[in-house]
Structure 1
């Protein structure tokens, strides 16, 4: 036993999310600057995990992990994160993954992403943040469907209009996807696959916009069509938190006159939303 350390990145919504046939899925959009760090101090004298800051989901996941490996002791779990809660940025999933990694590090447990996924899915619907790369992931059953690798260089202009959404409650309501919706989602998956093969962000942006449009029927975002036109004018795409409150414009980081483009986009957003919280993200590590 030793002091255990674990970490996990967050996301900015999803590139694609929906259902094809009876299978729910999402395609992740990892954001390296969003980070959860966990520390675990083992304590054989107690039988459970103590936590700070009401991280009950991470606590439950940790106790499920100890039970899985037949460990009867407990310990003290501390979690620090810069990921906003209730926005659709995978904050609780990142807490769970970081906690499981810290506890595994403490006890030198042979943990895998598959084990993390299985435990996380028991606690709640989970993002695929245990994988560093972009993946297609069944967020209800915690199963990896496909791995795509790292996104081409991008800039994301993120917009937070306020408010929060309870992911567990949101996912308890079955979403209705028409045949046309499912056809479009299948097309979006093909575009993502092609975009990664060709290293073409514009193709991936098209896929993200298709999915974001479909989500407007489920969890609409304000001024979506204005922002879509703005993104399209720079060969970019729309990204949304399909079960959250944020949305953003995804752009090629190598676009000409990037700073001028970002300045123009920020001004347009400020006109649409006077109190919008705008942040710029990229995939530099």
Structure 2
């Protein structure tokens, strides 16, 4: 792995260990200090897909840019130190990517984790477009910063993510235009925009890496349309106009439909005005599709939406997205 960040190293040698959940003899000072602390936690929100996914600029060699759609659903990672390295209680363990992130973190700082137990919980289904694996990684790293009482270092987080996977910008608590492959924030878009949503999760999962070549070919063909869409989206954020953002998100979703179609998208688009929605959004490389509302739908609208989605064979879910 390349150095996750140019700063933040302690200069201590990496101590050998067999697993990220226990340590050998001779804990470092920070580890010994953390051992006496109670449970510490890291939390990270997920996404409802994207308000935009497409090329950053039109051209023959497009870079995939995203404006992730944060949602009030989360991944939690807890670490509880204990005095011995005996058998751990039964609990959901860290996933493979989160384990790798923990090892990279410890290697970067030259630390050894004290004996303790990991516990995890997530509201984010895997493989549907809610950034579940990225949220797990970020929650794990946030937990580790707290275990060792280290200042949170975004550059370290970005370096570790770059060593593991293409990612969403869930490590930020604001909207951002983000290059998911290069792990670079192009522009922060603030916290003024928020939506109420009604959405469904279609069956199946999407392998993002497998469909990337299809997306890039599509972006080359439709680069000018994507450029207009992104320009309109950024203008909407700059002016604090959620309705304009919703219109641009709908255009992005419609472009995505040409390459990774959602079964429900046509019906959602056709009935948008009937339900008073301001826009339609999707997980561009996932299985989510739904409506954007700039104001909370009233109870009778929620009932009508639920009946509509049920007629399409899906259970409707309501959630708040963004900030605003």
TM-score over 0.5 for the pair: yes
What's the secondary structure of 2:217's corresponding residue? coil
Secondary structure of the structure 2 residue equivalent to 1:231: coil
Give the paired residue count. 277
**TM norm structure 1:** 0.87
Where 1:203 maps in the other structure, the secondary structure is helix
**Structure 1 residues 163-202: aligned runs within 5 Å:** 163-171=204-212, 175-179=216-220, 181-202=222-243
Aligned counterpart for 2:77 among listed residues 31, 38, 43: 38
Matched, 1:70 2:106: no
Q: Which moved more, 1:246-255 or 1:169-178?
A: 169-178
Q: Which residue of 2 aligns with 1:8?
A: 44
The structure that is strand-richer by fraction is 1
Q: Match of 1:226?
A: 267
1:173-212: CA deviation from partner (whole Å, max 9, x where unpaired): 6631355622222222222222223222110111111111
Contact 1:45–1:74 (8 Å) recurs in 2: no
Which secondary structure does the structure 2 equivalent of 1:277 belong to? coil
CA shift, 1:161, in A, is 2.1
Deviation at 1:151, TM superposition (A): 4.7
Change (3 A) 1:61 1:133: same
Match of 2:287 among 230, 242, 245: 245
What are the ranges of 5 or more consecutive residues in structure 1 without an aligned counterpart? Answer: none
Max radius of gyration: which structure? 2
Q: 1:29 is matched with which residue? A: 69
Q: 1:192 to 1:230 in 2, by over 3 A?
A: same
- Correspondence for 1:94: 135
Provide the C-alpha distance between the structure 1 equivalents of 2:226 and 2:63, rounded to a whole number of angstroms.
12
For the aligned residue pairs, the C-alpha RMSD in angstroms reads: 2.6
**Structure 2 CA distance for aligned equivalents of residues 184 and 173 of structure 1:** 17
Decide whether aligned partners of structure 1 residues 213 and 93 sit closer, same or farther in structure 2, where only a CA change above 3 A counts. Answer: same
Question: 1:41-52 alignment to 2 at 5 Å?
Answer: 41=80, 52=92
User: Who is 2:245 aligned against?
Assistant: 204
Partner of 2:318: 280
Q: Deviation of residue 118 (structure 1)? A: 1.9
